[in-house]
Chains A and B, each alone.
Chain A
Amino acid sequence: MAEIRSLRDAVAELIHDGDTVAMEGFTHLIPFAAAHEIIRQGITDLTLVRMTPDVIYDQLIGMGVARRLVFSWGGNPGVGSLHRFRDAVENGWPRPLELDEHSHAGMANRYVAGASRLPFAVLRGYRGSDLPERSSTIATVTCPFTGEELAAVAAVNPDVTVIHAQRADREGNVQLWGLVGVQKEAALAADRVLVTVEEIVEKLEPTPDAVVLPSWAVTAVAHVPDGAHPSYAAGYSVRDNEFYQAWDPISRDREAFLAWMREHVLEAS
């Protein structure tokens, strides 16, 4: 059963140096507050997994928290580059970053395999692409029924998956809706699951298209209103597109980035 914890306690208890951590949310419901808590606690040497690293991983990478990144599209959506990600890959600043790079379809299926506790997933993918040459988690498999050669992608099973959701009840049952991305698969693929929520309610009201993660599939729930900002939580907030645009000049410059992180993350709580 999920325990209701403070964000600080939940992060300290669930996430350790060297862990493989997936913090999912496809543009929507990105768990920024939990990432900031990881930075404040000085947890390091993480393998970070996320389809779209987004500004959340730009911040973690720029703070030197990650040694490896597993991903499929590393840009600032609608704005341009993730400059801290680029600086780490191109120049090794603040530390070198190993990459395991996929397509979205491949990553989505890696989570499906992980949630299913299968060793790999199959898809029609990567055909003719150079991507398999750079990854040890893409191979081919021959269909035993038709003989068709298909792409095989290794399962992703994070030590910890962190997601943000709209609501939980006091038992720790979690409800999220809107763009639900790959969060259910990422949560069920992980050994431990931390969910930050906008609101803790007495009773979860059924909501159209909602995903419910039962309490017994979740390790800890933390009440963190606006914990997805500058991403958003449908029904509670809208995406702060101005912040995503403002991030471009902040993150271009190492000193400007560090100053921003000091002021808004390290010295905040």
Chain B
Amino acid sequence: MNDTTNAAPGGAGSDVANGAARDWTPDELMTVNAARALQGSRTCFVGIGLPSAAANLARRTSQPDLVLIYESGTLGSKPTRLPLSIGDGELADTADAVVSVPEIFNYWLQAGRIDVGFLGAAQVDRYANINTTVIDRGPDRPEGRLPGAGGAPEIAASCRKVLMVLRHSRRNFVEKLDFVTTVGHGSGPGDRARLGLLGQGPVAVITDLGVLRPDPETAELVLTEIHPGVAVDQVVEATGWKLRVADAVGVTEPPTQAELAALRALKSGGDPRA
């Protein structure tokens, strides 16, 4: 993961070495790497937005057997285009089974049957805890309202592991959350066990700049990989706490033409196999 020799055909990769413009966007880099992070997982509880794009891309590229599970009650959805909502009809029409919302949360999620939960977030802290509820805008202004918890607290609690995907900025990666909606690693090692959370919690946070992973000793997020063309300082600068950097930071593989074609086809509503 630390060179550019496997770069895509078509010239995109050759631009990486000299830093010239390349033919993918930061969001595409993020989504492609988020999709790759699903390798080895069989079942994925999918949040809407970036996680859904990544999970669908994984199913269209390296993980054709990935079982996509949506909180609207679908097991094994196989959409051909990216759904706008978690309740688009295609998710149900292409599913192996459609169940009620109480069933999806109680029998499938809470029972610990699902390998990986894939979440987005508005605010993340150094222990990969998540705020999607309210933003403190200072003493003279009312709290800024975010959508709220949705499925996230129990997805992060009960899936065997958790992946997160969000854009990297000081606004999103904060020293202290204004509100803890969803627990990642709490306040450090041992907290998940103390709280009785079943799964191992967040194992990677994939952003448009690189990948952060929790330190096995401290549970604090550490920068382990940067994307091609991104500098370590840039990631440190975009993080609201003093970000720890791994001794040897890797560079992620550039997106392949196949990955980019599949992602663009999903986004444009077409079938990449067509």
Chain A contacts with B in 53-68, Cβ cutoff 8 A: none
Contacting residues, chain B, for A131 (C-beta < 8 A): 133, 149, 153, 181
**Across the interface, do A90 and B71 meet the contact criterion of CB distance under 8 Å?**
no
**Across the interface, do A123 and B89 meet the contact criterion of CB distance under 8 Å?**
no
Return the CB mask of B39-76 against A: 1 if under 8 Å, else 0: 00000000011000000000000000000000111100
- Bound together, the chains give a CA A171 to CA B255 distance in angstroms of 59
Task: Report which of A27, A123, A149, A179 forms a contact with B110, defined as CB distance below 8 A.
Answer: A123
Which of these binds chain B: A191-199, A231-239, A252-260? A231-239
**Across the interface, do A125 and B84 meet the contact criterion of CB distance under 8 Å?**
no
**Across the interface, do B197 and A179 meet the contact criterion of CB distance under 8 Å?**
no
- Bound together, the chains give a CA A81 to CA B109 distance in angstroms of 27
**Across the interface, do B150 and A130 meet the contact criterion of CB distance under 8 Å?**
no
* B35 contacts chain A at the CB level, 8 A cutoff: no
Return the CB mask of B107-147 against A: 1 if under 8 Å, else 0: 00110000000000000000000000100000000111101
Q: In angstroms, how far is the closest chain A Cβ from the Cβ of B255? A: 23
* A185 contacts chain B at the CB level, 8 A cutoff: yes
CB-based nearest B residue for A115: B102
If A86-B145, A127-B157 touch, whether A77 touches B101 (CB-CB below 8 Å) is no
Report how many A-B pairs have Cβ atoms within 8 Å. Answer: 170
Contacting residues, chain B, for A112 (C-beta < 8 A): 102, 106
Task: Report which of A26, A86, A89, A126 forms a contact with B72, defined as CB distance below 8 A.
Answer: A26
If A105-B154, A180-B98, A209-B98 touch, whether A130 touches B72 (CB-CB below 8 Å) is no
**Across the interface, do A75 and B110 meet the contact criterion of CB distance under 8 Å?**
no
**Across the interface, do A238 and B89 meet the contact criterion of CB distance under 8 Å?**
yes
Interface residues of B, Cβ cutoff 8 Å to A: 48-49, 71-74, 83-89, 91-93, 98, 100-102, 105-106, 109-110, 133, 142-145, 147-154, 157-158, 179-183, 186, 191, 195-198
* Listed A/B pairs (10) with beta-carbon separation below 8 Å: A28-B72, A51-B101, A78-B84, A108-B105, A124-B157, A127-B153, A178-B92, A184-B100, A239-B88, A241-B88
